[in-house]
Structure formats: C-alpha cells, structure tokens
Structure 1
Amino acid sequence: MGFKDENRSEAKVNRLSDMPPKLSMALFAVALGLSFWLYWDGLAEAVLRWQLQEEYSHGYIIPLVSLYILWERRFQIAAGYQSFSWWGLPIIVLALAILLVGEISALYMLIHYSFILLLLGLSIAFLGSATRHTWVPIALLGFAVPLPYFIEVILTSNLQLISSQLGVEIIRLCRIPVFLSGNIIDLGNYQLQVVEACSGLRYLFPLMSLGFIGAYLYQGSLWKKVILFLSTVPITIFMNSLRIAITGLLVDNWGAEMAEGFLHDFEGWLIFMACGGLMLLLVLLMELFTTRLSIRQAFAVPVSVSADQYAGGGMASLKCPLPVVVAVPMLLAALVGLTSIESREETATLERINLATFPLQLDEWTGQDDSIDAEVADKLGFSEYVMINYHNPEQRPINFYVAYYASQRKGVSPHSPKVCIPGGGWEIANFQRTTVDQIPVNRVLIRKGLQDQIVYYWFEERGVPIANEYIKKWMLFKDALFLNRTDGSLIRVTTPVLPDEDVMDADQRAKAFIRSSRNQLLQLLPAKSLEGTL
C-alpha cells in the first residue's frame, strides 16, 4: 500500500514536470506579475525619488539596461538551462521576510533590496544554474535603489567638504588668493557656497552604475574589472572638485553669473562626459601594460548562441519549475498579508503637537522667536519646529532648537548636527557623550577661527532620550514593529564662548538651560505611553 502511494506521488510529480514549455513560461510570468503587484507601493516610492532627486534620475535607465542585457543573453540563458533549482525557494522566503520587516517599519530600502533578492530567487528557482547569465543584470537594479536619507546626508556632507577643499587647492595652483570656510569659498569679491547639489552625488551614483556595467562588459581579468568599478569614486571626487575650481575661476573673471543658469548646467554635463572618458583612459592604460587589447576588443560583446543552438539547447527540454509552483501560493499569501498590514495606521496622539506654545519666559531666561528659511525647512522635512534665542539677565545667549517628526517611516528623520555642523564652516574641536541630570546627550565644542561654541544635542524618541544615533535607529525599527510608532524629535542647545569667559562657563550655562527647559519640553512632546492622550 505504501509503495502504491509513493508511486502515485511520483507519477503526479512526473506529470507536473512534463508541463509544456509555454505553460511553464506562463507560470513564471504569473510569479513575476505577483511580485510586481506585491512590491507596487515600494517601487512607486523609488520612482518618485527618481523624479524628485536628480541624484537618482539615472534610475529610469537602469531597468532598461538590465532588460537589454537579458535580451542580449537570451540564447546563452536558453542554451545553459539544465533544470530548475530548489535553492531558489530559501532565497524567496528570505526576500519575503525582509519585505515584511520593511513594510511594518516602512523602511523603503529594505523593500527595494528584498525585491531584487526576490527576482534572484525566482531566477534560480526557474533557471537553476543558468542564473549565472542573469544575476548581473538583476544586481544592476541595486544601483537604482535610493539610499536612506540619513546615509545620503552623511555622504553629501563629506563629499561637500572634500570637493571644496580639493577645489580650493586647484584654484590656488592658478595663483588666485582664496579662503575656504566650511563649504564657503571666498574669492574676495565673490563668495561661492558649495551646496548639496554640488557635492558630487549627482555624478557618483550614475558613474558607479556605468562603472558596474562597464566592468561586466569588460573582457579583462577580474582585477581589472574591480579597478574599473572602484575607480568611479576617486574620478567622481576629482572631477567634481575640478568643476568647482573651474566655476570659481570663471566667477573670479566674469562674475557670479558664471555659477548659474544654462552655462553651469552645461558645464556639469561636460564634466560627466569627461568622467566617462577617464574611465576609458584607465582601460587603455591597463591594457597597454598587460594584454594590449583595443577599446573595441576590451568591450566586445561575446558572440551570441545561434537560434539553431537555442532550438536544440536546454530550453527545448524545459520542465515545469516546481519551486515556482510552490512560490506562487507563497506570493499570494504574502499579498493578502500585506494588504492587512497596509491598513494599519500609525499610533499617534489625538492632540496635534504645537511647539509654538513653548514659553518665551523660562525661569531667568527671556526668549525671542527665530525662524528657519522655508527652503531649508522643506528639506529638513519636520512636522513641527521651534527656534528661540534666549538670554539671561547677564545677556548671555542660548539658541534653542527642537524639530519634531510625527512619523519617520518615509525615510525622513532628524539631520544629525554632527553631520551638518562642518558645512557651516565650523570645525568639531571636541566631541563626547555625557549626561545632564541623567539625560544622555552629545556635547560638541565647535570652532571657526577664534570663535568657539558649545552645542548639546540629543534625540527624544517616543519619550526616551537617546544620544547614540545607531541606538536611535535600532529603537526606531523596534518601536515601529512593536508599538506602531516612529515619532521623534531632535533637541539642540547652542551657546557661544564669549570673549570674557572660558569654555567651562559656557558649558555650565548650556547645562543650566537644559535643566530649566526639560519639564516644559516633556509636556509638549509625546510621552512613552500614549494612554493618557488617546
């Protein structure tokens, strides 16, 4: 009896495996369709970032290039096919698990990369070992994934500083006196600010994509491919610095109009084309000292498998991909599950946070409202903010700033002062983590020329004060998962070190203000438990 049942099961599997190739292809198409449906919101967010941020405008091209490579390799894929592989299923399960975490926490980066992982899993499940011809175009999609905002801010800030410094050195080589303060280039008659748009990210991301494609097509050895791809970073930094220097020289000779409008944008395109030219020059130099291939030979596309070979190749014996048969109901179940998750609204207080009510009179401190430029405020993305300039009876000043984010799920989160401070021309002379009345805080001594300032800052994450930004990220993920909350705030207290005092005096003043403002602040920000306000 047991043998008969076993034989029947084997017969069913054999009949399923004998499914016509067209039906097998249709099944794979269904799995792909379900995948796109499942990830539709996440993919739409990526396209929105491509549209809104020039750094990712190359994202529209990446999927087209990926499809083109797959089309060019279609005969190799067909000829290399042997059988499906069950190894694709664990990868699909992992991708769906990452998707679940990404959806609950609304961390789009996880959603985007899990989509790429899912495509890889489906390819392995359907094509088996022939995935060696598909993994590169699938991996290429990773260059279209927008980075989380906090990583983007760190990269932008560092690239701004490096590009500004190198650009100024190039200007000095031309024997033109120039002074650099943070990201501000002072030419005497004119001042140029190296803003975020000039950081080099608009070159770096497209150029890295181009370098990856070039390394894939390059017929050189592995070490040459690696060098070609990694060279995109120094090429980007150098050429962006050169652009800044050229802009400075043009402004110094012909006025500020040289840094604006069509000429400035056209200059950017020329620099990007020059970056591509430097990559080709690098290939020529590597070939000059090694195999001596020409550019045409180095990037020659391998001869495709002929249609006759395709007809008699592995795809002619295509069997029903059983792992894909299993994956389809898994995708359907994930789709149903995520539909219920999407209807889950984030927990929030019923009363709207209104930081504008923060008192201007605070113990001995008297304040005056200040404001942030509308363009800067829009970029910071906070829900509410307050900025007040206080002074005590001795006219010692304190700048108090709070930015509240009702939700950090869309990738929007407070910009760390540690990242932003250098961009204003200030240097971080000393940084340490400490406590003020058991509140964990970051203490920063910043310096510009002979002027010093003390900055204290920390984050209030759902009623919990946090100084460490990595712990903050972990708690954000954990609370989004278990509490359905991602609200949070940045609190910053700044005071100058005046000429008639030392650093300790300014330090004590900032600490005293933190103690005075703490209770008032906690009354306005959401508490750890929302039971009292719901």
Structure 2
Amino acid sequence: MIVSQVKQWGTDTFIAPLLLLGGLVLGYWSVFQRLMITWDSGDNSYGYLVIPLFLFLCWEKRDSFRFGQFSWSLAGVAVTLLATLLLLVGEAGSMETLVFLGIWGCFVGITAALYGKRLKVLLFPLLILLFIVPLPAFLNRTLTFQLKLLASYLAAGMLRVSGVSVLMDGNILDLGVSQLQVVDACSGLRYVVPMLLMSLLIGNFFLASRWRQAVIVALAIPLTIVVNALRIWITGLLTVNDLARFTEGSFHDSIGLVMFLASGALLIWLALLLRGGSPAPPISLPPAESQQVNPLRALVVSLVICALFLAGGWALPRLQATQHVSPPRSSFDSFPMQLGPWQGTRHFLSREILDALWSDDYVSASFVKQDSGNVIHLLIPYYTYQGTRHTAHAPQSCLLGSGWAVLQTKERSFPAAAGQDLPVTTLELKKGQERMLSGFFFLGRGRVVTSPWRNKFYLVLDSFTKRRTDGALVRAEMVVAPDQPLDAAYRELAQFLSLLWQELPAYVPGDEVGNASK
C-alpha cells in the first residue's frame, strides 16, 4: 500500500506540486505579505496581474506540454537552495529586492524540480513571472528621471508649436497663468515597467522572430516618452484655456489609462507591420520525455525543497532586531545646535516622512553661517538595527523625486579630525536656476561607507560576525549662492562636515568611530 502511494506521488498526481507550493507560501508568508504591500503602491500595482499572466502562458501550452509528467530533477533542489540563500542574504542586508528575487528563484526551483530539462520551454512564462519583483525605488527614480525630462522637453516644444508661450525650468513648465510640475504620477512614466511587460507579451503573441520581438521591446520606452509628452501637452492646453478642472481627479487618472492603452494599441499595430500581415508560425515544443521516474526520488526531492522553504521561513525573523546587539548611545535630543561658526535650528519631521524614513532616532536641522550666508540642511537618521523595511537608504531617489537634476556624482575626501580624511559622496544638483551641493555617507559599527551597495555588504557581514546592524546615514545639503564659485561652496561644506564629524561618536556607536575608513 505504501509503495503504491509513493509511486503515485512521483507520476501523475498533482499532490506533490501542490505540497511544494503550499510549503513555499507557508514558509515565506511574511514575504508574500510584504510583496503585496509593495504592489499596493501606485507604481507597482501591475504586480497583481503578473501571476495570472504566468498561469495563462502556461495554460496555452497545455496541449503540447505534459504538465502532469514530472522529472523530479535534483537541479531543482540546487536552484531552490541558491534562492533560499539569496533570500536570507537580502534579509540580512536589508535588500528587499533580493528577498523578492529569492521568492521568484523558489518558483524557478520548483519548476526545475518538476520538469528538469523541459524547463527551457517555460523560460518565457518565468521571465514574465520575474515582473512580480518591483524595481528598487532609487533605481526606478534614477531610470525615469531623464525620461521625465525628455517628455517635458517634447511637451514644451509641442505647446510652442500650438502657440502657447512656455518656459521650461527643469521638470517645471511655466505657462504664465500656471505652472505644471511634471512628476512621475502625472507624466505617465509610472507606466514604464508595465509597458515593458506589455511589449514582451505583444512580441510573444504576434511575432515569432527573436529580432522582431527585440525591436518591439526596444520601442516600448521611446513610445512611452512620446505618448506621455502628448498627455502633458493636452494638460497644458486645458490649463491655458481655463479648463484646468479636467486635469484633476478621476479625469486626470482616466487620461493616464487611455494613454497607456493607446500605447499598447500602437505597439500591436507596429508588431503587425513587422510581421508583414502573416500570422506567426506556431512554436513547436519538444515532446515530454518518456522515462521511468524513481518514486523515492520524487518523495525525497519534494521533502528536501519543502524543508528548505520551512527552514528559510524560520530563519527570516531571526535575522531581525531581537537577535542583534544594540550598543549604548546618546539620544539626538542632545545634539548641539552650534558647530563652530554654524548656528543651527532644529526641525521636526512629519509623521508621513517618519513612516517612510523608518528610523529609531533622528536629527534634522538647518545650520546658517553668518559671514557667507550659506545654509546647510542636515538630516541624520539612526537605526538600532536594519532590516528590509527598517534601513538607511541613499538620498538620490528623494532628491530626484523632488525635481533636482544630478549634474555630477563624485566621491571626495574632506579633512576630518586629527589629520584624517573623511570619504563623502557628493552630488552637484540643479533645479531651474538653483544649485545645490549634497554630501552623504553611511556610518556604523566603526566604518564610513560611501557606496550603498558596499554598505549592504557590510550589513550582511556584520549581521553574522558582530550580531550588529546598527548605523546611520549622514546627509548634508547646501544651496549654493547665485554668485558663489563651486570651489568656495565645497570648502564651506567641508568645514561643516569636519566640525560635524567630531560630534558623531557620541550618537553613532562604532568599534573605533574616529578611524574613518571606506
């Protein structure tokens, strides 16, 4: 009786695949919850459509791909093990994107275990499934910022051709009667990733040639820019003709959806042109291999993969704050508001900003130097521990989101106390006629780190070797005076950071915080 049940387990029953999926969901339910929270944001809501699309693409192959015939390949165990390690590293290093990639890798591991070499037939559905992983916010903002400026530039040209006087100042279009700030939500560039997804699907359904499919995918981003320039142009025309009420609320959202659908329709038309009117030939699938599967191997592979899921799910919460050391420190409530010639005024952040900052303590202040008139805005969030939704993140995405264009990014060394050099990532930014210098570095556990990626690496390392992930982001921004040379502005920023460095050891614990090192 037991032998026959084991044989049935490894042949034509779907009990084992359901067990694998159940183990994945049970082990990583907290990760799925976080993934759905991310999908609930406006830019990532397309994520809810990805799994149905994946299932549909698999269902399309039901007649030629024997989904009920399993290979129980040991390669699936190896893929699942690597995905589990990726997930744990992402959790330890507070890299949520790696955690979500680990979930996708677990799906790939299940598929590899079930179908072995036949996995290559399902590569495209698995590629589509990869879209469950949202882009990191800073990468999304960095990629779309220049696209947003291009859309604004095209829209400004179209408005001038239409007889509307417009002055473009960064991502702000001054129409005289009103100003339009082209942010991601109203430029339509939040549809960049969904457009890439749509272009892949259109290429798959309408075109057989790989190069033609690549052309359709390559056209997705330029088409998004052009179509959304049209949207900005329409918004500008409505505004100058005293019809601004039609650019707000549900009508505004409807225009975005219509433009997205129009882009999809245009991509389909382009695909039909590339196809030349002839239908795409059916893709021949290799027949399922007729081989005898060892039923014991099927049972072992299933149990090992499920054990990996449950072990990974058990380990995740144990990488969080309850297992980490939180060294003593002074509260930022006592942070001095006088740093040499710089006189500070403390600010308090709103609840909305604090929720996005995730910090356990912070200081926010504006420091003024009377003789030069320069003002430096200081923000230092501190974290007693760092996890995927409780971590310091580089300020580029915030600056880009507020309309600043990055002209240059460079790592510089500023003089610190006792003849030491302090490494700082500096950014030269511009918004309209305003110029700003920004400097930041990550500080924690005896290290100064300028690279966000290197900071993540040390978070993983110190999580296991020191049982510590505490640390802070030190961020200072200074608006450059209209007639002030950049060299002089950098000297002012360097002086401030040197004075600031002397105060930090009391508030950000480290092995030897005074020894700055990259």
TM-score w.r.t. length of structure 2:
0.84
Alignment-derived partner of residue 518 in structure 1: 501
Aligned residue type for 2:59 = W
Once residues 486 and 209 of structure 2 are traced to their aligned partners in structure 1, the CA distance between those partners, rounded to angstroms, is 58
Contact 2:11 2:70 in 1 (8 A): no
Change (3 A) 1:192 1:416: farther
Alignment-derived partner of residue 318 in structure 2: 343
2:429 is equivalent to residue 441 of structure 1: no
2:492 is equivalent to residue 509 of structure 1: yes
Within-5 A mapping of 1:45-64 = 45-51=34-40, 53-64=41-52
Matching residue within 68, 73, 91 for 2:79 = 91
Alignment-derived partner of residue 332 in structure 2: 355
Alignment-derived partner of residue 141 in structure 1: 129
Once residues 292 and 376 of structure 2 are traced to their aligned partners in structure 1, the CA distance between those partners, rounded to angstroms, is 70
Change (3 A) 1:411 1:198: farther
Q: Tell me how far 1:430 sits from its aligned partner.
A: 4.9
Once residues 161 and 329 of structure 2 are traced to their aligned partners in structure 1, the CA distance between those partners, rounded to angstroms, is 56
Once residues 480 and 110 of structure 2 are traced to their aligned partners in structure 1, the CA distance between those partners, rounded to angstroms, is 61
Once residues 327 and 211 of structure 2 are traced to their aligned partners in structure 1, the CA distance between those partners, rounded to angstroms, is 59
Matching residue within 337, 345, 362 for 1:368 = 345
Once residues 170 and 392 of structure 2 are traced to their aligned partners in structure 1, the CA distance between those partners, rounded to angstroms, is 21
Aligned residue type for 2:42 = E
Moved more, 260-269 or 438-447: 438-447
Change (3 A) 1:439 1:91: same
Alignment-derived partner of residue 100 in structure 2: 112
Q: Tell me how far 1:352 sits from its aligned partner.
A: 7.9
What secondary structure, in the 3-state scheme, does the structure 1 residue paired with 2:46 have?
A: helix
Q: Tell me how far 1:140 sits from its aligned partner.
A: 1.6
2:196 is equivalent to residue 208 of structure 1: yes
Q: Tell me how far 1:450 sits from its aligned partner.
A: 6.0
Once residues 187 and 445 of structure 2 are traced to their aligned partners in structure 1, the CA distance between those partners, rounded to angstroms, is 33
Contact 2:459 2:469 in 1 (8 A): yes
Alignment-derived partner of residue 491 in structure 1: 474
Change (3 A) 1:257 1:326: same
Aligned length, in residue pairs:
502
Deviations along 1:47-92, one digit per CA (max 9) or x if unpaired, are: 11112x1111121121112222223322311289585544333323
Once residues 358 and 265 of structure 1 are traced to their aligned partners in structure 2, the CA distance between those partners, rounded to angstroms, is 45
Once residues 9 and 480 of structure 2 are traced to their aligned partners in structure 1, the CA distance between those partners, rounded to angstroms, is 80
Q: Tell me how far 1:94 sits from its aligned partner.
A: 2.2
Unpaired runs of 5+ residues, structure 2, are 416-420, 514-518
Contact 1:84 1:321 in 2 (8 A): no
Alignment-derived partner of residue 217 in structure 2: 229
Q: Tell me how far 1:22 sits from its aligned partner.
A: 6.3
Matching residue within 241, 261, 280 for 2:249 = 261
What secondary structure, in the 3-state scheme, does the structure 1 residue paired with 2:45 have?
A: helix
2:381 is equivalent to residue 404 of structure 1: yes
What secondary structure, in the 3-state scheme, does the structure 2 residue paired with 1:232 have?
A: helix
Alignment-derived partner of residue 244 in structure 1: 232
Change (3 A) 1:448 1:101: closer
Q: Tell me how far 1:517 sits from its aligned partner.
A: 2.0
Q: Tell me how far 1:502 sits from its aligned partner.
A: 3.9
Within-5 A mapping of 1:104-183 = 104-183=92-171
Q: Tell me how far 1:319 sits from its aligned partner.
A: 4.1
Q: Tell me how far 1:161 sits from its aligned partner.
A: 2.7
Contact 2:97 2:133 in 1 (8 A): yes
Contact 2:412 2:423 in 1 (8 A): yes
Once residues 391 and 20 of structure 1 are traced to their aligned partners in structure 2, the CA distance between those partners, rounded to angstroms, is 73
Once residues 118 and 499 of structure 1 are traced to their aligned partners in structure 2, the CA distance between those partners, rounded to angstroms, is 54
Contact 2:142 2:400 in 1 (8 A): no
Once residues 227 and 478 of structure 1 are traced to their aligned partners in structure 2, the CA distance between those partners, rounded to angstroms, is 42
Once residues 172 and 317 of structure 1 are traced to their aligned partners in structure 2, the CA distance between those partners, rounded to angstroms, is 69
Matching residue within 34, 41, 57 for 2:23 = 34
Contact 1:82 1:130 in 2 (8 A): no
Moved more, 172-181 or 345-354: 345-354
Alignment-derived partner of residue 9 in structure 1: none
Moved more, 320-329 or 238-247: 320-329
Change (3 A) 1:154 1:79: closer
Contact 1:156 1:199 in 2 (8 A): no
TM-score w.r.t. length of structure 1:
0.82
Change (3 A) 1:351 1:81: same
Unpaired runs of 5+ residues, structure 1, are 1-13, 306-312
What secondary structure, in the 3-state scheme, does the structure 1 residue paired with 2:425 have?
A: strand
Deviations along 1:304-326, one digit per CA (max 9) or x if unpaired, are: 99xxxxxxx96998745655433
Once residues 197 and 525 of structure 1 are traced to their aligned partners in structure 2, the CA distance between those partners, rounded to angstroms, is 37
Contact 1:140 1:209 in 2 (8 A): yes
Query: Identity, % of aligned pairs?
Result: 28
Contact 1:76 1:304 in 2 (8 A): yes
Alignment-derived partner of residue 527 in structure 1: 510
Deviations along 1:348-393, one digit per CA (max 9) or x if unpaired, are: 5366874343222233322223455665555455444433222334
